[in-house]
């Protein structure tokens, strides 16, 4: 049987400034997420980290709106 250690609490965990510093094979909690200070868009689903697509640009949104209203 594998010995599981509890999640670190926000006060115990160091701040993370780069997505490259995170091991994607581990499970994380919301408390871990609160210490991630990088600009990359990520989602935390059932403890697993997923990169998100970048948000569409304002030009893309404007063109999409024009097509929708045509």
Q: Is residue 35 part of a domain?
A: yes
- What pLDDT does residue 47 have? 94
Q: Is residue 25 part of a domain?
A: yes
Cα distance between residue 58 and residue 47, in whole Å: 32
Domain housing 45? 19-69
Q: Is residue 9 part of a domain?
A: no
Q: Is residue 42 part of a domain?
A: yes
What pTM, to 2 d.p., does this model score? 0.58
- What pLDDT does residue 7 have? 58
Contact 36, 42 (CB under 8 A): yes
- Report the number of distinct structural domains present in the chain: 1
Q: Is residue 1 part of a domain?
A: no
- What pLDDT does residue 44 have? 94
In a structure prediction context, what are the per-residue pLDDT tens digits for the chain, which is 70 residues long?
566 655 555 556 689 999 999 998 999 999 999 999 999 999 999 999 999 988 889 999 999 999 999 8
Structure tokens at 65: 């709106």
Q: Is residue 54 part of a domain?
A: yes
- What pLDDT does residue 55 have? 82
Q: Is residue 13 part of a domain?
A: no
């Amino acid at each position: 049987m594998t010995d599981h250690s509890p999640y670190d609490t926000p006060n115990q965990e160091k701040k993370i400034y780069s997505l490259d510093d995170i091991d994607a094979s581990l499970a994380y909690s919301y408390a871990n997420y609160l210490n991630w200070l990088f600009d990359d868009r990520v989602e935390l689903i059932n403890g697993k980290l997923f990169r998100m697509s970048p948000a569409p640009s304002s030009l893309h949104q404007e063109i999409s709106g024009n097509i929708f209203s045509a």
